[in-house]
Structure 1
Amino acid sequence: MRMRASAAVVTGALALTSLVAPVAQADDKPVSDAPRSAFAAKGADDVQLGDTKISKVVVNGGKPVVAGTANVKFKVSFTASDNSGIASADAYLWHGAVGKEDGFVFAEEDTAKCGTGTTVTCTVTFVVEPWWDLNKNSLGTNWKVAATADAKDYDFTMKDNVKSFNIQRAAKLSVNASPEPVKKGKTLTVTGALTRINWETEKYAGYTDQSVQLQFRKKGTKAYSTLKTVKTDKKGNLKTTVKATVDGDYRYSFAGTTTTQAVNSGGDGIDVR
């Protein structure tokens, strides 16, 4: 199921109710219709009936989801528990505030894949399609996981926000140190550029006024050390100078922000003579 992020907005709670099938039987109390209808009407409240619980939610192995122009596939896992066992579970992703949602991503599966027992791990697969799901740059920030679990005794839980995580805009970082080769003690000019995806144009553009570290690794060693911090200009470009001392590699390193991924440039080797 796909829904464009700019489609007509429904509340997170109301969308969640559409993911859960009714579970009442003739000989049992009607645990489904009344509570879930109230949930849909209020829109802002979670619903809990019985002792069913959802916990230990992990998105993308605990790492931010980074999206450029290509589709991004990742998993969300969570623990569902009930003393009668779990019958089914599901989850979806949403952005914004309850009642003011502006982004949704729905699971690839009809229901989560869960183990058996009273406490199980459930896994859901998501594919974010940037051109479809991320049609605004403002969507490159905090998202929420909504989840539901139904128990075999007809208890259930529905949660609007069981986990928050970031979908970040993909970034690129370049470096060039010159002249090459260079005499010992002479000045090297190190240039580069930090760019990030603009989902609205589907192109990369300069990321302005960002702090980026210039780092150096001496030839024959593995670790980089930071020499100085440089800020990108109004076009995302970088430029600074250093004194050439020994052979080695220069690179730029960007720590990332909540909206944009962390990225390192490749190393540019310098021969000092």
Structure 2
Amino acid sequence: MSRRGVVVGTAVVLLAGAGASAGAAPADRAGGPVVARAVVNEGHDVVVGTTHDVTFPVTVTGSGDPALTFVDVDLKGPHGGFYTTDAFCESATACTTRFTVNARLAPGADDPVDLADAQAGTWSVDALADTEDGTSVFARDVGSFSLKRAARLTANASPEPVAKGARLTVTGRLVRADWDTYRYTGYAGRTVELQFRPKGSSTYRTVATAETNGTGALHIMLKAAKDGYWRWNFAGTATTGAAKAAGDYVDVRS
């Protein structure tokens, strides 16, 4: 079975339902064990770059009695993304585990796994739990999460300083993690917001949008009006995380 997908540290512990009888039972069967849901990374996207481990929590919850004793957990993703693990349950009510993912193979790993670009997107969680009275309950698609490629943005406004009313050029570049080559590459054809924060303010507002070219580059020209900070803001996509550039300050002189 392929395990190209996620490196897992420990397993998930579930909650039990009430009044179970021996044998397998569906997760939502009346009177049987109940596996309610799985929450991954506290409801946030899991965003992975090219070199560093990213560790995130997974909490699975349910209710009732008898207590769970053992659980098998599967994470399933696009294009064969898969990993499974199991563990003895630590609690009859709830437990949180932590999963670790990385784009690059871990040196000397006994069971090498990594991520491929095609595996970015929506992942789901399945769980098979055993209870203390011998009942088993299987919960398919008990949770889901987005596994995304990390993005980076730069911004540069010039000239600095600039005369009021003169032309100001703001450039930048949007790149995202390539899990196949372990590098960041240009993200073409993406709409990115140009934002401005006046000197003395803490709030950015969007003043224009631009689309990245074939190498992820951005370019826009406008008239300089007041002192402040310029940055690019990318909202992200279904497969790529959001990114904001650091603000670049421009002194506008009368």
Indicate which of 56, 64, 70 corresponds to 1:74. Answer: 56
What aligned pairs does 1:256-267 form with structure 2 within 5 A after superposition?
Answer: 256-267=236-247
Partner residue of 1:271? 251
Count of aligned positions: 230
Q: Does 1:103 align with 2:85?
A: no
Q: Which amino acid aligns with 2:3?
A: M
Q: Deviations over 1:6-31 (max 9, x none)?
A: 9xxxxxxxxxxxx9xxxxxxxxx973
Which shows bigger deviation, 164-173 or 81-90? 81-90
Structure 1 residues 158 and 208 mapped into 2: Cα distance closer, same or farther (>3 Å)? Answer: same
Quick check: 1:48–1:158 contact (8 Å CA) kept in 2? Answer: no
- Shift in Å, 1:48: 7.4
**TM-score, with length taken from structure 2:** 0.82
**TM-score, with length taken from structure 1:** 0.77
Q: Deviations over 1:160-183 (max 9, x none)?
A: 321121100000000000000000
- Shift in Å, 1:47: 7.3
Q: Percent identity?
A: 38
Q: Deviations over 1:18-66 (max 9, x none)?
A: x9xxxxxxxxx973xxx59xxxxxxxxx777861111132100100000
- Shift in Å, 1:229: 0.8
Superposition RMSD in Å: 2.5
Partner residue of 2:76? 94
Q: Which amino acid aligns with 1:61?
A: E
Distance in 1 of aligned mates of 2:203 and 2:135: 54
Q: Which runs of 5+ in 2 are unaligned?
A: 7-11, 13-20, 106-112
Quick check: 2:49–2:102 contact (8 Å CA) kept in 1? Answer: no
Q: Does 1:169 align with 2:149?
A: yes
Q: Would you tell me which structure has more helix in proportion to its own residues?
A: 1
Distance in 2 of aligned mates of 1:112 and 1:196: 38
State the secondary structure of the residue aligned to 2:83: strand
Q: Which runs of 5+ in 1 are unaligned?
A: 7-18, 20-28, 37-45
Distance in 1 of aligned mates of 2:155 and 2:91: 48
State the secondary structure of the residue aligned to 2:118: helix
Structure 1 residues 252 and 185 mapped into 2: Cα distance closer, same or farther (>3 Å)? Answer: same
Q: Which has the higher contact order (CA 8 A, sep 6+)?
A: 2
- Shift in Å, 1:123: 1.7
Structure 1 residues 179 and 263 mapped into 2: Cα distance closer, same or farther (>3 Å)? Answer: same
Indicate which of 35, 38, 42 corresponds to 1:54. Answer: 35
Q: Deviations over 1:202-260 (max 9, x none)?
A: 10000000000000000011000000111001111000011111110000000000100
State the secondary structure of the residue aligned to 1:145: strand
